[in-house]
Amino acid sequence: MSYTIPIGPYHPALEEPYKINVICTGETVEGVDIEIGFNFRSIELLAQRRNFIQAITLVERVCGICSNVHTLTFCQAAEAIAGLDVPARAKYIRVIMAELERIHSHLLWAGIAAELIGYQTLFMEVFAARELVVDLLESISGNRVNYAMNCIGGVNRDIPQPDDVLAGVKVLRRMLQQKFIPIFTTDPTVKARTAGVGILTKEQALAYGAVGPTARASGLDMDVRRDLPYAAYDELDFKVISDSSGDVRARVVVRALEILESIRLIEQALANLPAGPLRQAERFPAIPAGEAAVRVEAPRGEVLYYLATDGSDIPQRVKIRTPTYVNMPTVEPMSQAQQLADMPLIQASIDPCYSCTDR
pTM value? 0.94
Strand partners, 34: 20
Identify the pLDDT of residue 357: 81
Most confident stretch, 28-42, 192-206, 345-359? 192-206
Q: What is the number of H-type helices and E-type strands within the chain?
A: 16, 8
Q: Provide the sign of the torsion angle of the four alpha carbons 78, 83, 87, 88, taken in this order.
A: positive
Residue 69 has pLDDT above 80, yes or no: yes
Identify the pLDDT of residue 38: 79
**Nearest residue to 330 via CA among 197, 224, 191, 201:** 201
Identify the pLDDT of residue 296: 97
Q: What are the φ and ψ backbone dihedral angles of 31, each rounded to 5 degrees? A: -175, 165
**All structural domains of the chain with their residue ranges:** 2-357
pLDDT band at 13 (very low <50, low <70, confident <90, very high): low
Distance CA 68, CA 167 (A): 22
Q: Angle at CA 252, nearest 5°, toward 250 and 257?
A: 95
Distance CA 101, CA 103 (A): 5
pLDDT band at 14 (very low <50, low <70, confident <90, very high): low
For the domain covering 2-357, report its CATH number: 1.10.645.10
State the DSSP code for 273: -
Identify the pLDDT of residue 225: 97
Average pLDDT over residues 161-169: 93
Residue 40 has pLDDT above 70, yes or no: yes
Per-residue pLDDT of 250-296, as tens digits, reads 999 999 999 999 999 999 999 999 999 999 877 889 999 999 999 99
Residue type, 84: L
pLDDT band at 15 (very low <50, low <70, confident <90, very high): low
Residue 31 has pLDDT above 70, yes or no: yes
Residue type, 211: V
- The answer for residues whose C-beta is within 8 angstroms of residue 300's C-beta and 6 or more apart is 66, 105, 211, 212, 213, 214, 322, 323, 324, 327, 350, 351, 353, 356
